[in-house]
C-alpha cells in the first residue's frame, strides 16, 4: 500500500474542488489512485474543517437536517450573490437554489411574524375573533336559507290548505 503525504492529498482534494474540475472518477483514471481513496481524502478534509471541501453524494446532508445557525450562515454568505459565485457556494455546501429560496422565505416570515407579534398582538387576536364570528354567522345564514327552501317545498307539495287535524269531525 502506497503512503501519500498530506500535501499531496490536499493537492488532490483541491483539484477535485475547483469549479469545473475533475471528478474523483476522472482524477482516479488520470493518477491511478483509487476513486474510494480520493473520496475518503475529500471527506477527511471536510471533517478537518477545510472550508472548500464539498460533500460527496453519499455523505451529503438533506436540507431538512441543517441546523438553524448553519442555514443563517449560508443565507448571509449568499446574500446578493448571483450566477457563478452563488453556484460555487451551492456546490460546496451540496444545496440547490430552491433550498436557499425556501430558507430565505422562512427567515423573512419568521422575522416578519416576530415584529408583528411584538407590535400588536391584540390586533391578531381581534382578527381571529372577527373571523370566528363571521364563520358562525355564515353557518346561521346557511341554516336559515335551508329552512326557507324546505318551507317552500312543503308549500309546493301540500299547497296552501289549512291543517284539518285541529277541526272537530263532522257529525
Domain boundaries, the chain: 1-60, 121-157
- Section 124-148 average pLDDT: 94
Per-residue model confidence (pLDDT) at position 122: 78
Give pTM, 2 decimals: 0.35
**Residues 24 and 38 sit within 8 Å (Cβ to Cβ):** yes
| Residue that is written with C-alpha cell 416578519 in the block | 112
> Is the CB of residue 31 less than 8 Å from the CB of residue 39?
no
Per-residue pLDDT reduced to its tens digit, 1-54: 678 888 888 888 888 877 777 888 888 888 888 888 888 888 888 777 664 544
Length of the chain: 171
For residue 46, the model assigns a pLDDT of 78
Q: What is the pLDDT of residues 69-120, one digit of tens each?
A: 888 888 888 888 788 888 888 888 888 888 888 888 888 888 876 555 444 5
Tell me which of 1 and 67 has the higher pLDDT: 67
Residue 167 has pLDDT above 80, yes or no: no
pLDDT band, residue 58 (cuts 50/70/90): very low
DSSP at 167: S
- Helices of type H across the chain: 6-17, 24-31, 35-47, 68-78, 83-93, 97-119, 121-158
Quick one: pLDDT at residue 170? 61
How many CB atoms neighbour CB 41 within 10 A?
Answer: 21
Q: Determine the straight-line distance between the first and last CA of the chain, rounded to whole angstroms.
A: 123
Q: How confident is the model at residue 60 (pLDDT cuts 50, 70, 90)?
A: low
Enter the C-alpha cell of residue 161: 290548505
Would the pLDDT of 150 be above 80? yes
Question: In angstroms, rounded to a whole number, what is the distance separating the alpha carbons of residues 83 and 54?
Answer: 18
* DSSP 8-class letter at 20: T
Average pLDDT rounded to a whole number, residues 124-149 = 94
Amino acid at each position: 500500500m502506497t503512503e501519500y503525504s498530506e500535501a499531496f492529498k490536499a493537492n488532490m482534494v483541491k483539484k477535485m474542488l475547483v469549479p469545473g474540475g475533475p471528478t474523483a472518477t476522472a482524477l482516479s483514471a488520470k493518477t491511478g489512485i483509487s476513486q474510494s481513496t480520493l473520496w475518503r481524502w475529500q471527506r477527511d478534509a471536510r471533517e478537518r474543517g477545510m472550508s472548500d471541501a464539498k460533500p460527496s453524494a453519499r455523505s451529503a446532508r438533506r436540507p431538512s437536517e441543517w441546523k438553524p445557525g448553519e442555514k443563517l450562515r449560508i443565507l448571509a454568505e449568499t446574500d446578493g450573490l448571483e450566477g457563478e459565485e452563488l453556484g460555487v457556494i451551492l456546490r460546496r455546501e451540496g444545496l440547490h437554489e430552491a433550498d436557499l429560496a425556501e430558507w430565505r422565505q422562512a427567515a423573512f416570515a419568521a422575522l416578519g411574524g416576530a415584529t408583528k407579534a411584538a407590535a400588536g398582538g391584540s390586533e391578531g387576536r381581534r382578527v381571529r375573533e372577527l373571523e370566528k364570528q363571521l364563520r358562525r354567522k355564515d353557518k346561521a345564514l346557511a341554516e336559515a336559507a335551508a329552512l326557507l327552501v324546505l318551507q317552500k317545498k312543503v308549500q309546493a307539495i301540500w299547497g296552501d290548505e289549512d291543517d284539518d287535524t285541529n277541526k272537530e269531525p263532522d257529525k
